[in-house]
C-alpha cells in the first residue's frame, strides 16, 4: 500500500486516540485536531471514521504480513528453530513498533468486536498459518500432533499477551529505548521457552498427558 504523508499523519493520530478512548469514544473532529488537519481533509481521504479504521487496520496487517514473509524468505536455508526464532523476533518487533494500534486491535479482537474481526479475518488466518507451519516444522518428530495444538496456543498467547494486558507493562515501557529493551528481553523469554520445548520434547508431552 503506497504511503501518503497526510494519510500517515491521520492514521497515527487515529491510532493514538483509538488506543486511549476507543473507536466509539473518538470523533473525526478529535482526530482532525490531534493531526492538525481539518475534518474535510479526513473525509476526503477516508470518507468516514469507519473508512479510516478500515484503511488503518488493512495497512497494519498488510505491512505485518509482508514483514513475516520477508523474514521467512531470508531464513529459508536456516534450521527450523533458527527460522522460528527470527519469525518471533519480527512479530514482537512489529507489534511493539506499532504499539498503540496493536493494543487497540488486540483489545477489540479479545472483545470479539465484529467491525474489527470482519476486517482482519483474512489476515488473521494467514498469520495463523505462518506461525503454525513454522512452529510445527520445529516440533516435527519431537511431539505428537495432539500436543502440538496445546503448545501452539501457548506460543500464540505469548505473542499477544503484552498487547492485551498492556496496563501491566505501562510503567516499564516508556520511551524508545525501553521499547527496544522490551523487544529484546521479551523475544529472549519466548525463544528460551521454545528451546526448552525442543530440548525436552518427550518430557513436555508426558507432562501434558498427566
Residue from 124, 120, 145, 130 nearest 87 by CA: 130
- Write down all domains in the chain, each with its CATH number in brackets: 54-209 (1.10.357)
C-alpha cell at 209: 498427558
Long-range contacts at 149-155 (CB < 8 A, ≥ 24 apart): 150/208, 151/197, 151/204, 154/193, 155/131, 155/190, 155/193, 155/194
* pLDDT tens profile 170-201: 555 555 667 788 899 999 999 999 988 887 75
Rounded (to 5) percent helix, strand, coil in the chain: 80, 0, 20
* pLDDT tens profile 155-175: 999 999 999 986 665 555 555
Specify the DSSP class assigned to residue 167. G
Whole-angstrom Cα distance, residue 179 to residue 122? Answer: 29
Reply yes or no on whether the pLDDT at 30 is more than 90: yes
> The whole model's pTM is what?
0.88
Reply yes or no on whether the pLDDT at 202 is more than 50: no
C-alpha cell at 161: 499477551
Amino acid at each position: 500500500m503506497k504511503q501518503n504523508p497526510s494519510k500517515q499523519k491521520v492514521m497515527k493520530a487515529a491510532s493514538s486516540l483509538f488506543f486511549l478512548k476507543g473507536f466509539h469514544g473518538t470523533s473525526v473532529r478529535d482526530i482532525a485536531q490531534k493531526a492538525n488537519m481539518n475534518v474535510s481533509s479526513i473525509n476526503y481521504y477516508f470518507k468516514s471514521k469507519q473508512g479510516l479504521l478500515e484503511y488503518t487496520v488493512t495497512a497494519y496487517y498488510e505491512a505485518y504480513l509482508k514483514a513475516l514473509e520477508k523474514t521467512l524468505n531470508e531464513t529459508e536455508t536456516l534450521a527450523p528453530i533458527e527460522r522460528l526464532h527470527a519469525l518471533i523476533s519480527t512479530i514482537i518487533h512489529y507489534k511493539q513498533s506499532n504499539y498503540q494500534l496493536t493494543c487497540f486491535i488486540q483489545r477489540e479482537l479479545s472483545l470479539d468486536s465484529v467491525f474489527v474481526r470482519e476486517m482482519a479475518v483474512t489476515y488473521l488466518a494467514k498469520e495463523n498459518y505462518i506461525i503454525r507451519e513454522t512452529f510445527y516444522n520445529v516440533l516435527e518428530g519431537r511431539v505428537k500432533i495432539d500436543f502440538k495444538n496445546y503448545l501452539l496456543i501457548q506460543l500464540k498467547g505469548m505473542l499477544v499477551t503484552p498487547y492485551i494486558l498492556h496496563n501491566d507493562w505501562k510503567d516499564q515501557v516508556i520511551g524508545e529505548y525501553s521499547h527496544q529493551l522490551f523487544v529484546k528481553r521479551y523475544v529472549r523469554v519466548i525463544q528460551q521457552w521454545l528451546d526448552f520445548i525442543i530440548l525436552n520434547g518427550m518430557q513436555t508431552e508426558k507432562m501434558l498427558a498427566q
